[in-house]
Amino acid sequence: MKHLAFTAILALIAAPAVASQCPMDMSRIDAALETAQLSDEQLAEVEALRAEGEELHAAGDHAASVETLGQAKDILGIE
């Protein structure tokens, strides 16, 4: 029972941290897009991933948002 309570507390503490990461990731993507040298296909994919990440964040699915935005960051070569 103690382990379950501990896990629940950790999840509650971690959720705001993940939620705040999404806007930071979106800002970094937006900044990188200004100078990125991507093919039209890559640019379209990054923009689509960025939009999807924002929608997931707005819907409260922050883990999926971070993952999706991470894919866009990978294409852009940013951490």
What pLDDT does 2 receive? 64
- Neighbouring C-beta atoms of residue 54, cutoff 10 Å: 18
Residue 3 predicted with pLDDT over 60: yes
> For residues 53, 56, 58 and 59, what is the CA-based torsion angle, rounded to 10 degrees?
180
Confidence band for 20, pLDDT divided at 50, 70 and 90: confident
As a whole number, mean pLDDT of residues 15-23 equals 67
Residue 6 in this model has a pLDDT that exceeds 90: no
DSSP string of 10-74, one letter each residue: HHHHHHHHHHHHHHHHHHHHHHHHHH----HHHHHHHHHHHHHHHHHHHTT-HHHHHHHHHHHHH
Question: Mean per-residue pLDDT for 47-68?
Answer: 96
Model confidence at 19: pLDDT above 80: no
Q: Evaluate whether 16 touches 24 at the Cβ level (below 8 Å).
A: no
Is residue 8 pLDDT above 70, yes or no? Answer: no
